[in-house]
Amino acid sequence: MARFTPDMETRALAVIELYPERRSATIPLCHLAQEQDGYLTREAMEQISELVGITPAEVLGTASFYDMLHTEPVGKYLVGVCTNIACLLKGGEELLEHAEQALGVAPGGTTDDGMFTLEEMECIAHCDKAPAVQVNYRFFGPLGDESFDSLVEELRGGALDAVVPPHGTLSRVHRTSGIAVPLAEIIEARRSGDLLEAERARAKAEAEGAGGNQL
């Protein structure tokens, strides 16, 4: 499988419809291709280039810029261990070392069975649960050596299938139209907020005007 399946192509065309410029759909389509194949195959990049009207080199250029887009195969689970400051202080480095031993690969490597790819992450905004781990962009933490091992076991055994989809699936909600934005509510809230703000500013100016003449 490399080019989009008919189902995925239908979704891809729907995604393109969401944008005024076709090429704006490049990155969403890259994610769609990753959802299908786990990574961006050459054929997928070529098909995306045809769909959005740019060259394959431009798709590759875009995809290779972003960390979340993979142009080489990755495991079913992309395990990212955070070693940024909060996690570092709580043992992130040690956890990464353990992960390397447990999985038998260095950061960037993929296990022989194709199940896991290990990555060293910068801050993933999960500091309250440091040291934190991300699996296919789902968060786990705080983790120690043992809890990491059991996480790996559960992933391998399929116990977490409901929580962690295979790599590439960003969201299990398939949108075919734009998000329904409660515009009326937002406008109303803004308007009342603005009124309140204006009232406060007026009161402040009055207060300053009353005492300000002495300065």
Q: Residues in the site for other proteins, rule: CB under 8 A? A: 42, 45-46, 54-61, 64-65
CB 42 to other proteins: min, Å: 6
Nearer to other proteins, 45 or 105 (CB): 45
Q: Which is nearer to other proteins, 42 or 175 (by Cβ)?
A: 42
Report in angstroms how near the CB of residue 138 gets to other proteins at its nearest. Answer: 25
Minimum gap (Å) between residue 63 Cβ and other proteins: 9
Angstrom distances, CA of residue 130 to CA of 21, 89, 106, 147, 196: 41, 8, 21, 13, 40
Closest to other proteins by CB, 62 or 147: 62
**41 or 84: whose CB is closer to other proteins?**
41
Where helices occur in the chain by DSSP H, the ranges are 6-17, 26-37, 42-52, 56-65, 85-89, 92-103, 145-157, 183-212
Q: How far is the CB of 108 from other proteins (least distance, A)?
A: 13
The 8-class DSSP code of residue 40 comes to -
Cβ-contact 42, 80 below 8 angstroms: no
The tokens of 143 are what?
């983790």
